[in-house]
Structure 1
Amino acid sequence: MADISISDILQWDMDKISIVSLSRIPRTISLILAGIGLSVCGLIMQQMTQNKFVSPTTAGTLEAAKMGLLAGMFLIPASSMLVKGAFAFCFTFLGSLLFLFITGRIRFRNVIFIPLVGLMFGGILNSIATFFAANHNLVQDMNAWMMGDFSGILQGQYELIYVSLPAIIVTYLYANKFAVVGMGRDFSKNLGLNYKAVMNIGVLCVSLTVSTVIITAGSITFLGLVVPNIVSMVYGDNIKKTLPYVALWGAIFLLICDIIGRVIIFPFEIPIGMVVGFIGGILFLLLLLRKK
């Protein structure tokens, strides 16, 4: 830990400048991209499932990425972050497709019931991953990877998160189509939209973003749930209009949580995953009560 002031930068203190370029700037960029990516993912999933309480947290997406990361650690222990990210992406993509298949077969479309199914689905995936990890002595490594924490972000260890940028751009370009998909399969087909193709593109964007964020910084819960809902309450449900606000407030929310985690027990630091989980969990309960 080092104290760095504006005067240190202006006076070209090379030791302080190197700390900023190697640690502080990469950490800030990672926080912004992770906040944008996960918030946009939540918005996509809510449109695809026609449910405001579906997100990577309540759809088993994070748990599927966890299984993929575990598979990469087991099959290729010395693999790079890119290889582990590829495993996480494949499992996340398949897990998301399976969740959409399950929800598509559910006739009882209550707004609370679908995320409960997602939580149970995620619990099953998490149990399988934990059982496998326990039998191969990988529990500690897996938990270390999944702990949402940006304190170890350094230059050369965060660049993979840039992969989420194309997914965010595609989401913006397909915003109107995701809005139509949110009206249902029959409505989409009546308008001449290729429903299945748009759904697959949405799943691809979500899987790519979630897997890169998890490989870079670990699991961050509730972010993709609360930010789109709060933005929707303020700005409405026009996805083309609200998408920039979702991205902006997702980044701001994650930056605020990071500052709280670094200040509250200074000079020590609380992992940002715990801070976001605590604040996001409270907001999620408030949203549930408001919906009820």
Structure 2
Amino acid sequence: MTQSVPEPKKAQWRKRITLPRMAAAAALVVLVWLSLLIGADTLSPTQVVSDPEALELLLASRLPRTLAALLTGSALAIAGLIMQALVRNRFVEPSTAGTAQSAALGILLMTLLFPAASLGVKMIGATALALLGTSVFMATADRLPVTQPHLVPLFGLVYGGVIGAVVTFVGWQTDLLQFIDIWTNGEFSGVVRGRYEFLWGAGIIVVLSWWIADRLTVLSLGREASIGLGLDYAWTLRLGLLVVSVIAALTVSVVGIIPFVGLVVPNIVSRVIGDKLRASIPWTALAGALLVLGCDIVGRLIRYPYEIPVATVMGVVGALLFLKLMRLRPSHA
């Protein structure tokens, strides 16, 4: 009898990822289709073809909203992945490390100091405050005991809560609480054509993160190890902080704070793909986009024709996923 010859490793790898790719592509097509058709005024393909008003609704509202959800989800997931590499802790993300709250504070200050400024100018201020807030978090996190990794996310929650309290207090004193609610409770109901285009910048940042993925993977080994391997540690660290800050500023300015995306998605992907960022970044971006778009569709259907903000739905779904991840054993034990 002839013995079967084992397949090459590359062929086995291709076979292993073919099914997930097909499933992800099918899920993306289905969710995009549902997002385009579901709303207070339900559309159908025949209406879009025959009715000019239905086509205008699709192009002016449904399509921008769908693209905004995809861009936001992928960007937030990548921001969480990069922040976890910078801090070397699996339990942090921009919304639990003070980055998103600092971006909201930056927008608030820019609104108070320069009320006539455009959204792009306000984003610059949000990026600067997000960069400052994240730098303070990382400087403090480096002083915490390495043997107690759970102290880092606990400190991040307290730190972000303090900044959020400052934002609320300033908004209350200046009668801007309504605006603050928009920035801190993420939703896509206000996304229309001409109101989401800044999020394409987040898509560019996602591509940039793939370009520096190998450097970030080396950075995650620690300062001494990365310098020993010839990496410019300070430059890579600053670049990673800038990427996270820009993503936080863009998403908070356009759609608000959406929790848990950057926390659960990188952890799920790393259990399947591993810790090499160049391989995991495309899957992390895709999984984040699918998760946020799916939660947005659920928020539209729960109290149809009314909506529940995607941040509320994501808070429930993300908390359940996080608790499940906490109970699972490490994949590389």
| TM interval, short-chain normalised | over 0.9
1:240 matches 2:278: yes
The answer on whether the counterparts of 2:95 and 2:257 sit within 8 Å (CA) in structure 1 is no
2:137 alignment partner, one of 72, 81, 99? 99
Paired residue for 1:129?
A: 167
1:24 matches 2:62: yes
> TM (normalized to structure 2)?
0.84
Report the alpha carbon displacement of residue 291 of structure 1 after superposing the two structures with TM: 6.1
**Aligned amino acid, residue 96 of structure 1:** T
Q: How many residues align?
A: 291
Paired residue for 2:72?
A: 34
The whole-number CA distance in structure 2 between the counterparts of 1:210 and 1:60 is 10
Higher mean displacement: 57-66 or 179-188: 57-66
Which secondary structure does the structure 1 equivalent of 2:195 belong to?
Answer: coil
Larger Rg: 2
Q: Give CA-to-partner distance per residue, 1:182-209, whole Å, 9 cap, x none.
A: 0000000001101111011001111111
Alignment of 1:134-149 (within 5 A): 134-149=172-187
Report the alpha carbon displacement of residue 104 of structure 1 after superposing the two structures with TM: 1.6
Aligned residues with identical type, % of pairs: 36
The whole-number CA distance in structure 2 between the counterparts of 1:124 and 1:69 is 17
Report the alpha carbon displacement of residue 3 of structure 1 after superposing the two structures with TM: 2.2
Paired residue for 1:9?
A: 48
1:200 matches 2:235: no
1:178 matches 2:216: yes
Alignment of 1:193-272 (within 5 A): 193-272=231-310
The answer on whether the counterparts of 1:167 and 1:206 sit within 8 Å (CA) in structure 2 is no
1:118 matches 2:156: yes
The whole-number CA distance in structure 2 between the counterparts of 1:290 and 1:114 is 20
Report the alpha carbon displacement of residue 285 of structure 1 after superposing the two structures with TM: 2.5
Higher mean displacement: 230-239 or 264-273: 230-239
Higher mean displacement: 266-275 or 228-237: 228-237
Which secondary structure does the structure 2 equivalent of 1:159 belong to?
Answer: coil
Q: Which runs of 5+ in 2 are unaligned?
A: 1-39
The answer on whether the counterparts of 2:295 and 2:314 sit within 8 Å (CA) in structure 1 is yes
Which secondary structure does the structure 2 equivalent of 1:154 belong to?
Answer: coil
> TM (normalized to structure 1)?
0.96
The answer on whether the counterparts of 2:98 and 2:137 sit within 8 Å (CA) in structure 1 is yes
Q: CA RMSD in A?
A: 1.4
The whole-number CA distance in structure 1 between the counterparts of 2:238 and 2:325 is 29
Paired residue for 2:18?
A: none
The whole-number CA distance in structure 2 between the counterparts of 1:10 and 1:130 is 47
1:69 matches 2:110: no
Q: Give CA-to-partner distance per residue, 1:29-81, whole Å, 9 cap, x none.
A: 10110011000000001111111111112211111111111111211223321
Report the alpha carbon displacement of residue 171 of structure 1 after superposing the two structures with TM: 0.5
The answer on whether the counterparts of 2:104 and 2:253 sit within 8 Å (CA) in structure 1 is no
- Check 1:63–1:109 CA distance in 2 against 1; reply closer, same or farther (3 A cut): farther
The answer on whether the counterparts of 1:41 and 1:56 sit within 8 Å (CA) in structure 2 is yes
The whole-number CA distance in structure 2 between the counterparts of 1:278 and 1:72 is 32
Q: Which runs of 5+ in 1 are unaligned?
A: none
Q: Give CA-to-partner distance per residue, 1:117-163, whole Å, 9 cap, x none.
A: 11111112112222222222222221123221101111111111111
Paired residue for 1:164?
A: 202
Report the alpha carbon displacement of residue 9 of structure 1 after superposing the two structures with TM: 2.2
